[in-house]
Amino acid sequence: MLPSNLSEQEIQERATGLLRRFFGYSSFRPLQLEIITDAVKGHDLTVLMPTGGGKSLCYQIPALLGSGFTIVVSPLLSLMKDQTEALLACGIPAASVNSLQSEDINDDILRKLAGGKIKVLYISPERLLMEIDRWNRDLPIDLIAIDEAHCISQWGHDFRPVYTQLSKIKEVFPEVPVMALTATADRLTRDDISAQLRLTNHKSYIGSFDRPNLSLKVMVNPGKTQKLNIITSLIDKYRFGAGVVYCMSRKGAEAMNKELTDRGYKSAVYHAGLSADERNRTQEMFSSDRLQVVCATIAFGMGIDKSNIRWVVHNNLPKNIESYYQEIGRAGRDGAKSETVMFYSYSDIITLQSFIEDSGQKSINAEKLERIKSYAESNVCRRRVLLSYFNEIMTHDCGNCDVCTNPPVRFDGKIVAQKALSAVVRTGQKVGITMLIDILRGMSGSELVSKGYHLIKTYGVGRDMSFGQWNHYISQLIQLGMLEIAYEEHNHLRVTSYGVKVLKNEAEVSLAKYVQPDSAASRKGRKSGRQEEPRHLSTDDLLRINLVKAREELAKKEGIAPYLVVNDLVLESIVRLKPRDMEAFASIEGIGERRVIKYWKKFVGEVRKTLGIHSSAASQGATVKETLWLLEKNFSPVEIADIKGVKTGTIYGHIAELIDNDRFNDFPRVISRNNYLKVMDEYQKNPDQAAENLKDEIEYGLVKIALSISKYLLRHK
């Protein structure tokens, strides 16, 4: 049962307490608390938030508030496994029932449900539908969450027929609140979800789609070398994180992977053409930080819950904004700064257009392609364009996209435009971009010469500019509508009527100035990053390296992925805050109780070691503080001794000291009334002999505590 009788304030207080205790976060993100409150109050809900927006907590916290268990329907086996492990790492009893483990294990888990030993159960829709008829209606189900709920809609991009049978949930368990969650924005899908699930008195929440920690960058018509430079410098920059290169085709992914492995990077491919085994292995290696990069088609990522993806590159223009946003959204789920770069080549358009020709919904898809194209070509803050696509209005520029950080400087580009346009006319509109640039720059390739282009009047008029510069300007002429690409005619360029006006001096042209890409610098960066350690490591660098190593060791010992020990955002906080004792460690955002207990020693140890602080008298104070911290978390003295690996007597000593200093007064927690009275009795009768007399009956530490209590009571009379 969910505690629906509580007032909103009570629910929110408890929820915040659980957030801190299990997840180590001090506050909720927008909407989370409202959603949790409504769920506890028994409402059906649809929740729309972007990937990485924090949907999971919306049902995990109610699960912890309820007395029974919460079911999470999830279509992806690997995701189920990751999420179960992530919850276990926070100390939350979770399990999943799935086809990857034996039926015995599955049956055992299902049996445990009734016993209240499991708080969160992940299950596939198929399995749920199979079990639901067998289940006792009295099973203590608090809440049913349906993840990736857009799979229910034929309008969505990921329709799964089995999802449509989930309406059965409401038939069988009409009283149990259902929460449907998705990151897919479009309205048709959203309406479909609530209708198909037969949600009653249902409320809808739409979170902001903004992901401020993701930087946005688009490069128009980059060359192959430039692409590779950018990718390798990202790998080098994020040595401890990983990235994904999304490619349009399997062949593209294979080729990119080869380029990267040839250069010594830990890379793998992922696409639908590989066997399930191969794909699982890649996913597994990626999750456990053993790969720096995966070159993938869009098939990759659905089942990835890895929170430390530091960068995403689109090697090609994605087919629509939804897919693009979902794919870049896989970066930075831990909230740490992450980079995204899209390479946009005109040849991508041709390929995508041919896909559209073969697709069922031609006009919708063509419209969607138009929208992503105009995003890629935008001259205003990209985040504003992106969010407005999801009907979210942003009233300021983001400062974290390439347009914001490198605002285009404009100049009168009439001469530049006329040179290019006139060359196009003089070739009889029979050349593509590359040939046009070669003509302008006076190159003498064999095709150029054989077609006689070296004889036209505009040959060589653009020798003063590099290939990259011309490429940049011609791209703008296309975006501005002076030139168009005839996709059906070998991508030849055509001058539009607007272009003709420019040629005739009847229109002004303002172009954005070309900025030299910093490729030399990034090449240098790669060398020092990969082949040798940089010469002067700062304390922070050193600490980071040590912490990453420590994290790997802990992960190995537990057989979990390193980011499940602590994620990158937390790791960076440790580097920044340099906690020197348990208390400081515990106050870091994202470290819940369980992680404090399991990991503080190792991480604080690394901090102290790196800073050259040796354990000494100073650390005694810290251990008393640690004891207090654990007492406040409701651990008993025996448990505290166990966690800290010291004798119980030592902990009793700490407690006595805490009582003497008026820092602890929850006495029944540490000594029974009986024992306390017994000690008092002995000391009243014969103070000199008391300790000796009590020796066999009550531990000396407890006697000390009793004496401290009596002094405390005298002081506070």
* List 401, 436, 477, 503, residue binding Zn ion (CB under 5 A): 401
Q: Would you count residue 218 as binding Zn ion (CB under 5 A)?
A: no
Whose Cβ is closer to ligand ADP: residue 56's or residue 427's? 56
Q: Which does 401 bind (CB under 5 to 8 A by kind): Zn ion, ligand ADP, none?
A: Zn ion
Among ligand ADP, Zn ion, none, residue 426 binds (CB under 5-8 Å by kind): none
Using the rule CB under 5 A, give the single segment among 30-38, 403-411, 617-625, 643-651 that binds Zn ion.
403-411
Stretches 115-123, 288-296, 392-400, 672-680: which one binds Zn ion (CB under 5 A)?
392-400
- 595: which 2 tokens? 């992680």
For residue 398, the partner it binds in Zn ion, ligand ADP, none, with Cβ less than 5 to 8 A by kind, is Zn ion
User: What residue 381 binds from ligand ADP, Zn ion, none (CB within 5 to 8 A, per partner kind)?
Assistant: Zn ion
CA distance linking residue 446 with residue 406, whole number of Å: 38
Report residue 641 as tokens: 């001794």
Interface residues with ligand ADP (CB under 6 A) are 25, 28-29, 32, 49, 51-57, 307, 333-335
Rounded to whole angstroms, how far apart are CA atoms 130 and 399?
51
Per CB under 5 A, which region of 80-88, 303-311, 396-404, 445-453 contacts Zn ion?
A: 396-404
Instruction: Report the residue number, 213 or 261, with the smaller CB distance to ligand ADP.
Output: 213
The closest alpha carbon to 232, from 260, 273, 207, belongs to 260
CB of 24 or CB of 252, closer to ligand ADP = 24
Shortest reach from residue 192's CB to ligand ADP, in Å: 20
Residue 307 touches which of ligand ADP, Zn ion, none (Cβ within 5-8 Å per kind): ligand ADP
Rounded least distance, CB 16 to ligand ADP, Å:
10
Distance CA 267, CA 261 (A): 6
Q: Which residues of 228-239 are buried (b: 16+ CB within 10 A; e: fewer)?
A: ebbbbbbbbbbe
**Which residue pairs, CB below 8 angstroms and at least 24 apart, start in 188-192?**
188/153, 188/155, 189/150, 189/153, 189/155, 189/156, 190/46, 190/48, 192/152, 192/153, 192/154, 192/155, 192/156
Nearer to ligand ADP, 205 or 346 (CB): 205
Q: Which residues pair with 245 in a beta bridge?
A: 295, 313
Type of residue at 239: R
Q: In angstroms, what is the minimal distance from the CB of 27 to ligand ADP?
A: 6
Task: Compare residues 80 and 480 and give the one whose CB is closer to ligand ADP.
Answer: 80
Q: How far is CA 179 from CA 7, 182, 237, 596, in A?
A: 21, 10, 40, 31
- Given ligand ADP, Zn ion, none, residue 51, with its beta carbon under 5 to 8 Å by kind, binds ligand ADP
Question: 701 near 649, Cβ under 8 Å?
Answer: yes
Q: How far is the CB of 658 from ligand ADP (least distance, A)?
A: 31
- The answer to the question of residue 404 lying near Zn ion (CB under 5 A) is yes
The reply on whether position 398 binds Zn ion by CB under 5 A is: yes
Count CA atoms within 13 Å of residue 502 on its CB side.
25
Least distance between Zn ion and beta carbon 398 (Å): 3
Pick 61 or 643: Cβ nearer ligand ADP: 61
DSSP β-bridge partners for residue 486: 492
Q: Which of 2, 141, 381, 548 binds Zn ion (CB under 5 A)?
A: 381
**Could you tell me the smallest distance in angstroms from the CB atom of residue 396 to Zn ion?**
9
284 CB-near residues (< 8 Å, 6+ apart)? none
Q: How far is the CB of 181 from ligand ADP (least distance, A)?
A: 7
Nearer to ligand ADP, 51 or 153 (CB): 51
DSSP 8-state symbol, 463: T
- Structure-block tokens of residue 358: 């073969």
The 3-state DSSP class for residue 10 equals: helix
Q: Which of 250, 271, 383, 544 binds Zn ion (CB under 5 A)?
A: 383
* Residue 404 contact among ligand ADP, Zn ion, none, beta carbon within 5 to 8 Å by kind: Zn ion
Question: Minimum Å distance from CB 49 to ligand ADP?
Answer: 5
What's the rounded Cα separation, in Å, for the pair 600 and 574? Answer: 11
Q: Is 395 helix (H, G, I), strand (E, B) or coil?
A: coil
The listed partner (Zn ion, ligand ADP, none) that binds 54, CB under 5 to 8 Å by sort, is ligand ADP
Please, which residue, 212 or 452, has the CB nearer to Zn ion?
A: 212
Number of other CB atoms surrounding residue 35 within 10 Å: 27
214 or 404: whose CB is closer to ligand ADP? 214
- Work out the number of other CB atoms within 10 angstroms of the CB of residue 689: 11
Give the residues across from 344 on adjacent strands.
Answer: 220
Closer to ligand ADP at the Cβ: 213 or 693? 213
49 touches which of Zn ion, ligand ADP, none (CB within 5 to 8 A by kind)? ligand ADP
Say if CB 603 and CB 550 are below 8 A apart: yes
* Spatial distance between the Cα atoms of 589 and 156, rounded to a whole number of angstroms: 36
CB closer to ligand ADP, 37 vs 307: 307
Which amino acid is it at 622?
A
Query: If contact means CB under 5 to 8 A according to the sort of partner, which of ligand ADP, Zn ion, none does residue 319 touch?
Result: none
Helices (H) and strands (E) counted in the chain, each on its own, are 33, 17
* CB of 68 vs ligand ADP, minimal distance in Å: 22
334 binds, among ligand ADP, Zn ion, none (CB under 5 to 8 A by kind): ligand ADP
Told to check if 319 binds Zn ion by CB under 5 A, we report: no
Closer to ligand ADP by Cβ: residue 25 or 240: 25
Least Å distance, CB 371 to Zn ion, is 18
Q: Between 397 and 552, whose beta carbon lies closer to Zn ion?
A: 397
CB of 35 to ligand ADP, least distance (A): 11
Residue with tokens 């992530």: 86
Say which residues have a Cβ less than 8 Å from residue 32's Cβ, sequence separation at least 6: 54, 57, 58, 61
Considering beta carbons, is residue 147 or 682 the nearer one to ligand ADP? 147
Give CA–CA dist 418/416, Å, rounded: 6
The SS3 assignment for 366 reads: helix
Least spacing, CB of residue 381 vs Zn ion, in Å: 3
Longest dimension (CA), the chain: 120
Choose the contact partner of 499 out of ligand ADP, Zn ion, none; CB within 5 to 8 A by kind: none
Residue 79 or 404 having the CB closest to Zn ion: 404
The radius of gyration of the chain from alpha carbons, rounded to an integer in Å, stands at: 32
- Residue 221 Ramachandran class (φ > 0 left, ψ -120 to 50 alpha, else beta): left
How near is the Cβ of 135 to ligand ADP at its closest, in Å? Answer: 26
- Determine how β-strand 492-495 pairs with β-strand 483-486: antiparallel
Residues that bind Zn ion in the complex, under the rule CB under 5 A: 381, 383, 397-398, 401, 404
